[in-house]
Structure 1
Amino acid sequence: MALSSHVSLPPPTVFGGDEYEFWAVKMEAYLKAYNLWSAVEKGYEPLAESGNLTVAQIKQLKEESRRNYKALSFLHSAVAATIFQRIVGASTEKEAWDTLQEEFQGSDRVRAIKLLNFRRECELLKMKDGNAIKDYVSKLIETINQMRIVGEKIPDQKIIEKVLISLPERFDSKVAAIEESKDLAKLIVNELIRSLQAHEQRICKRVESSTEGAFQARFKGKQPSSSREVKKQSGYDKNIKTKGGVNETEGEK
């Protein structure tokens, strides 16, 4: 939904030549907030001047022209001076946008190659046994967002499926429980991650308790089994005799 006429957003983020993909996502959202994204998607072509234009056509022409130049003005204000030089000659928002996209994101062929590489990386990505679920999911989401930026449409259900099939063996019981009790078509990513993290924490606590129990058992096994052994180890057993039959303590006396 576009903003009302009396509400305005802060100025858009200025693009200086780095991280074009992230800036493009922000700029697209900014233009959509003002209902101007169609100027990029559909472009703007002025109708030829003609005395045969109806009042409705003239009104439409003026509205499309206004929207185009408003969007172009936003784009001008969202790039640094060095970048503005690339689009200074563009008369439409779409022309300026396509110019920046071609230079900083590459042609359709280049974007297709990037997408192929990201797909391969995503397919090979699996959680290793020593990794934390948070770290693995962060890496997966980062790769998927890169794919989305270059045009791939990836629903959240695909992310959920990818996570469930790429977890190590210690999550098998949890995955089975989720598949049996949840509707994967309605499950959201954050809910899945919270559930897996809770399972991971339980595993960690179980391992810690087991390790602590084993340590205590081993330590207990080394303890003296009787008070006599305690006295022997501490040197206070008065019944210990020397070769001469005299208690060492008594001999000292």
Structure 2
Amino acid sequence: MGDVIQLQVPQLTKTNYGNWSIRMKALLGSQDCWEIVEKGYIEPGDAATEAALSNDAKKALREARKKDQKALNSIFQGMDESTFEKISDVKNAKNAWEILQKSFQGVEKAKKVRVMEKILRSLTRKFEYVVVAIEESKDLSKMSLEELVGSLQAHEQKMKLNEDSENLDQALHSKLSVDDGETSNNFSQGRGNRRGYRGGYRGGNRGGRGSRGRTKVEN
């Protein structure tokens, strides 16, 4: 059963290196081989040097070689013929992993940049200045997709806050305008009432004087 599980190696394609490498790390880790791929091991320079090693050192060397070949075999199983040719002459699993990493990470990075550029081009004009800022201050090839999305979301939140602030300013301005209008109207009406009162009072006086004048004539 263990051998069957080891044969379930993910297949590397031109477009799935990121996911493939994650799955391969997990697989090699389950085989207790990832450390040998990540760090490698030191081979003796020649047979005489190897023969001079202590028994413990020879045992550790044999164990390292065994793990390395096991890891390299798993990596080979995930290759198609054209990709296998890239690493067919490698001496160890670490070397094979590094070659694949350099070959396919460049493709993944170019693909990621194209996706990010497409996202930026599709944004509306209100994002225009933040797009320019991102393109001028940051290298898209070194920026993750998550970082780009986070920057855009932060900008969108900032715009919403500004819009709310503008709406609040407009509301306050409208209220003040209404209040000023009511104050002016009340003031005008008050002045009108006072003028009317003074006018009526004067008219009454004039009317009173007129009545007294007519009484004298009749008498």
TM-score, normalised with respect to structure 2: 0.50
| Larger RCO, structure (CA 8 Å, separation 6 or more) | 2
TM-score, normalised with respect to structure 1: 0.44
User: Which protein shows a greater Rg?
Assistant: 2
